[in-house]
């Protein structure tokens, strides 16, 4: 009778571990399906939910000597937080993506500047480009 109890407990443990592994695999799968939404330079109005991650696709990479920065006036950190950047193949070849996280409901402006020196007045540098977005977090 004691051996029966041990095997029943071991069987229950194996079932619990299998279910946990399945849930982890399903979470990974669905996380990949629901990748962050990507906005382009023409998407001046961005509407997202609190906790949501999104990216803005910007032209060029550091190879041309320019880089993209979040410029002043900076977005309200209670509403929007920067979450890094990455490069990947975009709609027209290699592209750079600036990543953001919507923190709490609210509205804020996001200003991106493509610059070389990126000091004060970066938007006025030769070859600079400015992108402005209105971000609404619901």
The ranges assigned to domains in the chain are 1-34, 37-137
Identify the band that residue 34 occupies on the pLDDT scale cut at 50, 70 and 90: low
Place of tokens 């029943």: 8
Which of 34-38, 42-46, 81-85, 98-102 comes out lowest in average pLDDT? 34-38
Question: Per-residue pLDDT averaged across 62-74, rounded?
Answer: 87
Place of tokens 């975009």: 90
E strands, the chain, are: 37-39, 45-48, 53-58, 67-70, 80-90, 93-102, 106-115, 129-137
Q: In what order do the strands lie in the sheet with 37-39?
A: 37-39, 53-58, 93-102, 80-90
Burial category of 75 from C-beta neighbours within 10 Å (exposed 0-12, middle 13-18, buried 19 and up): buried
Whole-number Å distance between alpha carbons of 131 and 17: 49
pTM above 0.75, yes or no: no
Model confidence at 137: pLDDT above 80: yes
Topology at the third CATH level for domain 37-137: Immunoglobulin-like (2.60.40)
CB environment 82-116: b (16+ within 10 A), e (fewer): eeeeeeeeeeeeebbbbbbbbbeebebebbbbbbe
Which residues lie across from 95 on neighbouring strands?
A: 88
């Amino acid at each position: 009778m004691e051996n029966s109890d041990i095997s029943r407990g071991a069987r229950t443990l194996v079932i619990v571990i299998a279910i946990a592994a399945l849930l982890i695999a399903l979470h990974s799968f669905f996380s990949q399906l629901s990748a962050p939404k990507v906005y382009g330079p023409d998407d001046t109005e961005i509407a997202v939910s609190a906790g949501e991650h999104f990216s803005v696709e910007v032209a060029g990479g550091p190879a041309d000597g320019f880089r993209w920065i979040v410029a002043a006036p900076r977005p309200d950190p209670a509403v929007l937080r920067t979450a890094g950047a990455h490069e990947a193949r975009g709609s027209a070849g290699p592209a750079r993506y600036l990543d953001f996280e919507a923190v709490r409901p609210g509205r804020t402006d996001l200003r991106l500047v493509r610059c070389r020196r990126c000091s004060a007045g970066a938007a006025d540098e030769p070859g600079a480009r400015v992108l402005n977005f209105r971000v609404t977090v619901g």
